[in-house]
Structure 1
Amino acid sequence: MSDWSALIRDVPDFPKPGIMFRDITPVLADPAAFAAAVAAMAAPWRATPPDAVAGIESRGFILGAALALELRCGFVPVRKPGKLPGRTLSQGYRLEYGSDRLEVHVDAVPAGARVLVVDDVLATGGTLRAATELLRRQGAQVIGADVLVELVPLGGRDRWDDAAPLRAALLM
């Protein structure tokens, strides 16, 4: 499927009233669409691939792991609190409908590692910013962020405010 973007569906009032959720699971369910989406996300990073891809829970795990395989590098899970065994670093952030925290293992990446942060959807930008801060606290060099879908009206790119590039496979 060349137009994988047609498979993204809107789910009104999820997870709270007034929120329009963009569901990417139909893209993941279609092998050709999933492959095309991952290829689109990988394209900007092929010339100089990262040492690792850091995928944000939970759909960022799926896309990030596939992207790490495509780019032939390691994968680092960035999780919600209490999900990782061992010592972790934690970072809070704001969502369009509340607040949350992310964690990563204290030894997830070596200092100086070139890391690409990946998530499914860029909305307000808080999740990407928190993951980036966590990785930088470990001494990682965040080379950029990559999302499958950017919800342009929510202004997350404006809040990115980072020297590292932010790429989106699809703008909505």
Structure 2
Amino acid sequence: MTAAVPAPREPAALADLLLSRIRDVADYPKPGIVFKDITPLLADPEAFTALTDALAAFAAEHGATKVAGLEARGFILAAPVAVRAGLGFVPVRKAGKLPGATLSQTYDLEYGSAEMEIHAEDLSGEDRVLVVDDVLATGGTAEASLRLIERSGARVAGLAVLMELEFLGGRERVLPALGDAPYQALITV
């Protein structure tokens, strides 16, 4: 049973609020990188609530029954979205972090590969799963999570991120994996 979700703010006003609470950190984690720090947004109850409400409304609009959060910052966003929408939360973790039977999905990185896992029993063929993460960059992690959810037998209800780094091309990578499921980025930079 889903909870009543407040109507989200108008998209431009929401994006302005969220952007005003994201701090640029130059040369982190290495020279030449401008890191988008979301901790000021998380520390601001107005902005964090507005973000949670917007993502919960997206989950409700698209019939999600569960919300999957991608390790690690995706957990911070997805868990309150699940609570707000009255849905279950499923962590998508790095390989070896979950006890018990898991399903795994390998994906390519710039220099090598990585693997993600979910508990095998957390999803069923009756579930519609909204995947939530903080940032869509190159799209590898998001694409792997979408494939993993499909392999579990569940259906993908959509992908929602706080911020898309458009210049890295992640959207082009995840859209084929989404199929007909919707994609939402609250901010695009």
| Unaligned stretches of 5+ residues in structure 2 | 1-12
Q: Report matched runs for 1:105-120 at 5 Å.
A: 105-120=119-134
User: Judging changes above 3 Å, is the alpha-carbon distance between structure 1 residues 96 and 168 closer, same or farther for their aligned structure 2 residues?
Assistant: farther
> Which has the larger displacement, 102-111 or 51-60?
102-111
Match 2:25 to one of 11, 17, 22: 11
After TM superposition, list the pairs within 5 Å mapping 1:149-164 onto structure 2: 149-160=163-174, 161=176, 162-163=178-179, 164=181
Moved more, 103-112 or 1-10: 1-10
Given the two structures, how large is their TM-score scaled by the length of structure 2? 0.83
Is this contact kept in 2: 1:96–1:124, CA < 8 A? Answer: no
In our comparison, the structure showing a higher alpha carbon Rg is: 2
Q: Counterpart of 1:35 in 2: which secondary structure? A: helix
Contact 2:62/2:158 (<8 A) preserved: no
Query: Could you say if the C-alpha distance between residues 115 and 122 of structure 1 is closer, same or farther in structure 2, counting changes exceeding 3 Å?
Result: same
Query: In the alignment, is the contact (CA less than 8 A) between 2:98 and 2:118 conserved in 1?
Result: yes
Match of 1:165?
Answer: 182
2:159 corresponds to which residue? 145
5 Å-filtered alignment, 1:94-109, equals 94-95=108-109, 99-109=113-123
Please tell me the root mean square deviation across aligned C-alpha atoms, in Å: 1.9
Q: Is the 8 A contact 1:91 1:130 kept in 2?
A: yes
Aligned to 1:53, what secondary structure does the other structure show? strand
CA shift at 1:45, angstroms? Answer: 3.1
The question of whether the paired residues in 1 share the 8 Å contact of 2:137 and 2:168 is answered with yes
CA contact (8 A) 1:52 1:113 kept: yes
The SS at the match of 1:79 is: strand
Give the conservation status (yes or no) of the 8 Å contact 1:10–1:21.
yes
- The 2-side partners of 1:107 and 1:19 are apart by 39
Q: Which amino acid aligns with 2:153?
A: G
1:26-105 correspondence to structure 2 within 5 Å: 26-95=40-109, 99-105=113-119
Q: TM-score, normalised by structure 1?
A: 0.90
How many residues are treated as equivalent by the alignment?
A: 172
Of 13-22 and 49-58, deviating more is: 13-22
* 1:94-115 Cα distance to aligned partner (Å, 9 max, x none): 3457642211111110123111
- CA distance in structure 2 between the aligned counterparts of 1:152 and 1:171, rounded to whole angstroms: 6
Distance 1:103 1:14, change over 3 A: farther
154 and 66 in structure 1: CA distance in 2 versus 1, 3 angstrom threshold? same
Please give the alpha-carbon distance, in whole angstroms, between the structure 1 residues aligned to 2:130 and 2:102.
Answer: 19
Q: Distance in 2 between matches of 1:9 and 1:98?
A: 30
Which consecutive unaligned segments of at least 5 residues does structure 1 have? none
Partner of 1:23: 37
